[in-house]
Amino acid sequence: MGGGSGFRGSGLNDTNTMAAATRWATPLAWGKLAARAFARSWGRDVMLYTGGVSFFALLAVFPAIAILIGFYKAVLSIGQVSEQAAALADVMPHAARAIFLQEITRLANASARTVSAQSFFALVIGGYAAHRGFKALLAGLNLIHDEKEPHGFFKFNLLAFFVAVAAFLLFTVVSGAVVTSRLLEHTGPGAAPAASGIQLDGLWPALGLAIGLTMLYRYAMSHRTPVAWVPAIAGGVVATVMSTISSWLCAIYVEQIAPLGATYGSVGSIVVLLIWLSWNVNAIFYGGAFTTEMEIAAKGQTPTGPQSVEEDETVVSLSERRASRPR
């Protein structure tokens, strides 16, 4: 689907078709869109990709911590590194925060030479795990978007590499912004800067995630042409909201409903972290499904009607494709 071409004349940008635009403003239309996106993202095939992404993300998270601490230890003081650790831990469920903070504290108090050596090995291990994880993420999004022709081996691996690098850079910038806002909160005069700093603590991660997912949906989900900006932005916002809700529900689940310490013992924190990762991966896949369904709905509102959907086969119905597979 061309960059915005599917929404020219679809009722979203065409002032001559106000009736079509009005349909997008009704809660019923958005409710149907959300229901179709849920059905698209909840298939058994998508579930396999969710498990793969969560597993490799779990392998990559601690090497990523070592790389980040090694970087910040070279440019920041010990106190600022501890502030960075607290900022990173705040986005995780409380039950998984202990093991996270323990590893960060160990690295923050280690010597620069030890951290540098560990950062080197972490770069190798974390790079491998992150690359595999992003390959699974891209493959899952391609399935959700129902791409018929897969990328070639070289192109697919190169795309996964660039997406992983971009995600790490975005994460570094966002975490740095959180630390900066906290430093301003403690050093700024009066209570007003503190209040704004508290707001920014929650704003920066959500804003960074929404931007990153929007770019992911636009440029990495479709093989031929970029996804239009409107559905990509909508999917990024929806996935960010779903991720926030998932993190909140995960915290309630593991702390109030089903405490996992008695069942899993010392590895309970790892299990909590894996649950949290899988719920957030589901949120990302749901955002991709919402983007896809929004594309399909926009094509159905074009002046040519259903014929235009048949002529443009960039996005097709996932359920129809599954039904056509041989049993």
For 150-198, how does the pLDDT look when each residue is reduced to its tens digit (9 = 90+)?
Answer: 778 899 999 999 999 999 888 878 877 776 776 676 665 554 444 444 4
Is the pLDDT higher at 65 or at 313? 65
Q: d(Cα 104, Cα 59) in Å, to the nearest integer?
A: 16
Render pLDDT for 101-118 as a digit per residue (tens, 0 to 9). 777 677 666 666 666 666
Q: Which of 308, 297, 210, 307 is nearest to 24 (CA)?
A: 297
Element (H, E) at 3: none
Q: Which of 222, 47, 216, 244 is nearest to 147 (CA)?
A: 222
Percent of the chain at pLDDT exceeding 70: 61
On the question of pLDDT at 11 being above 70, the answer is no
Question: How does residue 51 score in pLDDT terms, banded at 50, 70 and 90?
Answer: very high
Torsion, Cα of 46, 33, 3, 301 (10° steps): 140
Q: Which of 99, 100, 101, 93 is nearest to 250 (CA)?
A: 93
Q: What is the mean pLDDT of the chain?
A: 75
Percent of the chain at pLDDT exceeding 90: 28
pLDDT the model gives residue 191: 44
**Lowest-pLDDT choice from 53-67, 86-100, 120-134, 212-226:** 86-100
pLDDT the model gives residue 4: 47
Structural contact between residues 204 and 91, judged by C-beta atoms closer than 8 angstroms: no
pLDDT the model gives residue 254: 72
Q: d(Cα 148, Cα 121) in Å, to the nearest integer?
A: 38
On the question of pLDDT at 200 being above 80, the answer is no
On the question of pLDDT at 320 being above 60, the answer is no
308 C-beta neighbours (distance < 10 Å), count = 17
What does each C-alpha distance from 178 to 68, 94, 172, 174, 240 come to in angstroms? 14, 19, 10, 6, 17
Structural contact between residues 87 and 178, judged by C-beta atoms closer than 8 angstroms: yes
